[in-house]
Amino acid sequence: MNSSRVHFGFPAFGLGGRPRANGYIAALGSPAVTDDAASLFCPLEFRYGRESVRALFSRGSRLARVLSVEAALAAAESELGMVPRDAAETIASVANLDHVSVGRVDELERSLRHDVMAMSRALAEAAGPAGRWVHFGATSADITDTALALELKEAVGILRDDLTDLIRALASLARRHRATAEIGRTHGQHGVPISFGYKIAVAAAEVLRHRRRMDELLPRLAVGKMAGAVGTGAGFGPHAAAVEAGVMRRLGISADEAPTQIVGRDRIAEFTNLLALIAGTAERLATEVRNLQRTEIAEVAEPFDEAHQVGSSTMAQKRNPMLSENVTSLARLVRAFALPPLENMVQWHERDLANSANERIVLPHAILLTDDLLGKLVEVYRGLTVDSARMAAEIDRSGGAAMAESLLLALTSRGLARAEAHERLRTLTRGGAGSLAERARTDPTIQAHLSPEEVVALLDPATYVRAAAEKTDRILAAIDPELRR
């Protein structure tokens, strides 16, 4: 395999890419243009995800990060007089992909059968006589977990931007449709009228909560360690705390305050469970589009390339919500990835390797797919077609029954027992000739408490829609300042 190509694989420092496209291509992907494209195994190599995100996990990127940790270690030790300054400078000058190649690390690992030992030996070779100071006092997890912290910090930045883009798309749509009347539905049945904008504002607030969670989590997640074999720092002698602080300062992250040989895996479990929460919201928003795009409802439709896109290979009339269905499918997989990190919290004593293999698979996949599905949701909601006339017609189709609550409250406030008012309206909404307004105006019980004009006014959905629009405004007013942060 050509190590220069961005490759999504599972070796020590491995993975890779495709740029996000629009519409049909965004959902199904476009084959990577490579000489060995036919040999690609994982769909993330050629069907899902963005090139820029996949590159974050490329073998070269991962090797570059561990090399930067080794360079930071040598520099911190040099500052404390533990390593000669010229040796640290030499190590820093060669701790890059120009001097340490993925190919050489692979070659060494084939005989050593240890990825970090192979990397440190390759770096030591490149450093010449100064190489004897490479990895001085460190254990493998000091390097790999600290490099992982750098990787996760960058991934969080990407996902935070995705969440921000989605909030903005939802907020813009909610603002446009703040007073667009729509029937509210509970249990799949008509409830009372709302506005479509309110439905979308609720979604925007939910996504914003995930962004807050991401911000709160980052300081707990992006932590490394430089504390030796079982986390005590004994191998670094009296300078242990200063070495760790110096490394983390240079890398721009914090240290795990209480590690074993590894950084506490509760941090990673919390992160993947946050991705699962985000995926749950994503599927909810995708399902809303899928349901409202059903032929029987047809109130919204996701973007569709009318000039070229095909909905079915045989049913030429089809315009399927394929992006939303794709989001649904990927969201279910992201949620499944939350389980292995929970299992990885259980370590034998100060550490074992039971977490290592699955983390190399789980973290890149979960991050790449979360980014992918969020990007597709942004595309859906930015380009959503909203049929406001169809929404209004659906409210009218209820024949006034959707406003039964309004009559119930008015009758109760006029002196009728609530249970009696409820039973009367339950009976009246069960059918019969004419609309609820017509039946209510001639019903003796209702006539005794409300005039015909009052009945008509109470059955006007405008009051409910107006309340929804006003609440939409309040939600958006609270969201806007946070989007500027």
**Predicted model pTM:** 0.90
User: CA-to-CA distance for 198 and 196, rounded, in angstroms?
Assistant: 5
Q: What is the mean pLDDT of residues 4-8?
A: 42
Q: Is the pLDDT reported for residue 325 higher than 90?
A: yes
CB under 8 Å to 274, separation ≥6 — which residues? 210, 213, 214, 217
Which DSSP letter does residue 49 get?
S
- Catalytic residue, candidates 39, 111, 187, 349: 187
In the three-class reduction of DSSP (H, G, I as helix; E, B as strand; rest coil), residue 465 is classed as helix
pLDDT bin (cut points 50, 70, 90) of residue 44 is confident
Is 190 catalytic? The answer is: no
CB 386 within 8 A of CB 177: yes
User: CA-to-CA distance for 76 and 240, rounded, in angstroms?
Assistant: 11
Q: Is the pLDDT reported for residue 40 higher than 90?
A: no
- Catalytic residue, candidates 4, 312, 413, 451: 312
Is 329 catalytic? The answer is: no
**Residue among 345, 206, 364, 324 at smallest CA distance from 268:** 345
Q: Is the pLDDT reported for residue 439 higher than 50?
A: yes
How far from the centroid of its chain's Cα atoms is residue 225's Cα? 27
Q: What is the mean pLDDT of residues 428-457?
A: 86
Q: What integer pLDDT is reported at residue 21 of this predicted model?
A: 41
The first and second tokens of residue 284, run together, are: 């909810």
Least confident of 215-224, 301-310, 449-458: 301-310
In the three-class reduction of DSSP (H, G, I as helix; E, B as strand; rest coil), residue 255 is classed as strand
The first and second tokens of residue 466, run together, are: 């107006």
DSSP string, 12-29: TT-BB------HHHHHH-
Q: What integer pLDDT is reported at residue 36 of this predicted model?
A: 59
Question: Residue with structure tokens 């499944």?
Answer: 336
pLDDT above 90 coverage of the chain, percent: 79
Which DSSP letter does residue 131 get?
G
Q: What integer pLDDT is reported at residue 316 of this predicted model?
A: 67
CB 28 within 8 A of CB 47: yes
Q: Is the pLDDT reported for residue 250 higher than 60?
A: yes
